[in-house]
Structure 1
Amino acid sequence: ATQFYESIFATTLIPMDLPNIRMRMFPLDDIQNGIGGAVVDSGGFHKPSLTDGPLIYLNANPDIQLILDKVDSAGGSIMVGKTEISPENGYMAVIIDTEGNRIGLHSVAP
């Protein structure tokens, strides 16, 4: 999944491996005030799902469509295309990554 996320977000994830855990962190400019995330493989602890579990949203600013345009070529798929939440709250979409995880995307209103 690392290559998928690096491709759609045009970034390089940072390796932060631990014993028996492979972790790749999203770069974070302001560690004190920003919100980061990681792609983690810890063996059997997590089972990918298209329907179960929480739906985690990732920041797709400045334009969610720029991310969605890269999903198919990176090996993922779009479950819900760009959808307006409201004029004030921007847009959302749901994608399926290369590991079968359902991931939400959000971008603010222009």
Structure 2
Amino acid sequence: MATSFQHAVWFEIPVTDMDRAIAFYEAVFETELKRQEMGPLTMAWLPSEQGQYGASGTLMLAESYVPSHQGSMVYLNTDDIDATLGRAEAQGGKILNPKMSIGEFGFVGHFEDSEGNRIGLHNTQ
């Protein structure tokens, strides 16, 4: 059966306090986010490289976006799940699931961010 689905290309992580969320994600992932205003939307883009594997995404502040543990969960790649979970906790986040093996597919871990979202981490080592 033919399908029109190819792969995920974009994700948005809801936030209620953009400054707090930017500070949290920049500290946890040791990177810089690029803040963008688009009409009523305020975004902070997570780093990505054009043409590289994986979806791009943003933190999103808008009236209809509500942080939650419910619904879809985004997995972000990291070189060191334990260190990333440690930084999340040090920034006021909560470790939900420590690093665990998923067999031949690598490892995962989960944390709650500064806004109350459930975020997954993944790496292959």
* TM-score, normalised with respect to structure 1: 0.87
List runs of 5+ in structure 1 lacking aligned partners: none
**AA in 1 matched with 2:27:** S
* Equivalent residue in structure 2 for 1:76, among 89, 93, 101: 93
Alpha-carbon RMSD: 1.2
- Give the Cα separation in 2 of the matches to 1:65 and 1:74: 14
Structure 1 segments (4+ residues) deviating >6 Å: none
List runs of 5+ in structure 2 lacking aligned partners: 1-20
* TM-score, normalised with respect to structure 2: 0.77
Percent sequence identity over aligned pairs = 34
**AA in 1 matched with 2:96:** M
Once the 2 structures are TM-superposed, how far is the Cα of residue 94 of structure 1 from its aligned partner? Answer: 1.0
Once the 2 structures are TM-superposed, how far is the Cα of residue 56 of structure 1 from its aligned partner? Answer: 1.0
Equivalent residue, structure 1, for 2:27:
7
Once the 2 structures are TM-superposed, how far is the Cα of residue 32 of structure 1 from its aligned partner? Answer: 2.5
Equivalent residue, structure 2, for 1:36:
56
Equivalent residue, structure 2, for 1:24:
44
Aligned length in residues: 104
Kindly name which structure, 1 or 2, has the bigger radius of gyration based on alpha carbons: 2
Are 1:64 and 2:81 matched, yes or no? yes
- Give the Cα separation in 2 of the matches to 1:21 and 1:108: 34
**AA in 2 matched with 1:55:** M
